Amino acid sequence: MEKPSIIFRTVCPDRPGLVSQLTSWISNYGGNIKHSDHHTDQDAGLFLSRIEWNINDFPIKKVEIYEQFEKIAFDLNGQFNINYSDEIPNVAIFVSKQNHCLIDLLWRVRNGELKMNVPLIISNHPDLENIARDFDAQFIYIDTLNYSKSTVENQILNLLKDFNIKLVVLAKYMQILSESFLEKYSSIINIHHSFLPAFKGAQPYHRAWKRGVKLIGATAHYVTQDLDEGPIIEQCTVNVSHRDEVGDLIRKGRDIERIALARAVRLHLNHQIFVYESKTAVFD
């Protein structure tokens, strides 16, 4: 339906003329810009730019586009990404026993809301195999009890390579990935069931209930080596009261976990997120 587009993103030191330089390059080739957003982080002295234009009729081939932007980015002393909205990435979803985030993501894929393929679902429990089958994904059970973390993680890394996985989504995966793993694979989104940085770590709902908070939260973030310290993409909250037991917090939390995670994955797939200085800028 929607016409495919090229999406260019850069983060570079701020200086005059950047928007003009970038957009001129596109318009010189007759490209019709659909979205063009720019932000200057005054504190960091950085310029963030995201430009999206129609791929149809654009006379330059993908390889050339890359080469030319590589030159431009080199001149700008910046980092850049080029993506194409018609390249649908393979995404692996990691789960444990809870199914709500998994089902929600797969349903959104099927309904066309999330443009991704999910060929692979990995779990440290066998419980959710049926769901994988319903959605034509391969379900791999990894035995984290009888095998060492490094053995298991090597198995996972091989799977990610075999399935050409561009993004991993931790949809209530209750294992911690090692530093060594994260050095080798780092495009990972996690959902944490608290309003970070409150209640980092284990059992956030129990601790929120004990603390007597009046709102609980869910946080979708990129995974880094510092647990629950990765760049935050999306946060949602919901009211709770003294009438809510821990079980009610868990129940209410499922709804905001699903929504925060789905939004974050969608923003990632649409290339709307910039990560820098342990934070995100989300152009929506």
Residues that bind its own copies (CB under 8 A): 14-21, 23-24, 26-28, 30-43, 48, 99-100, 103, 107, 111, 113, 134, 195-199, 210-215, 217, 231-235, 237, 241-243, 245, 251, 255, 259, 274, 278-282, 284
Q: How far is the CB of 45 from its own copies (least distance, A)?
A: 12
Tokens (6 digits) for 238:
């919901």
∠127-131-137 over CA atoms, to 5°? 110
Q: How far is the CB of 199 from its own copies (least distance, A)?
A: 7
C-beta closer to its own copies: residue 26 or 152: 26
Q: How far is the CB of 175 from its own copies (least distance, A)?
A: 22
228 as an active site residue: the answer is: yes
Beta bridge partners of 192: 219
C-beta closer to its own copies: residue 98 or 153: 98
Q: Catalytic pick from 41, 104, 228, 244?
A: 228
Omega prior to 197 cis, within 30 of 0: yes
Q: How far is the CB of 43 from its own copies (least distance, A)?
A: 7
**Shortest CA distance to 114 belongs to which of 96, 135, 98?**
135
CA distances from 260 to 9, 193, 204, 283 (A): 23, 10, 16, 16
Distance CA 165, CA 185 (A): 10
C-beta closer to its own copies: residue 173 or 266: 266
Q: How many helices (DSSP H) and strands (DSSP E) are in the chain?
A: 8, 13
Q: What is the DSSP letter of 251?
A: H
Tokens (6 digits) for 67:
């080469």
C-beta closer to its own copies: residue 35 or 71: 35
Q: Which residues are catalytic?
A: 228
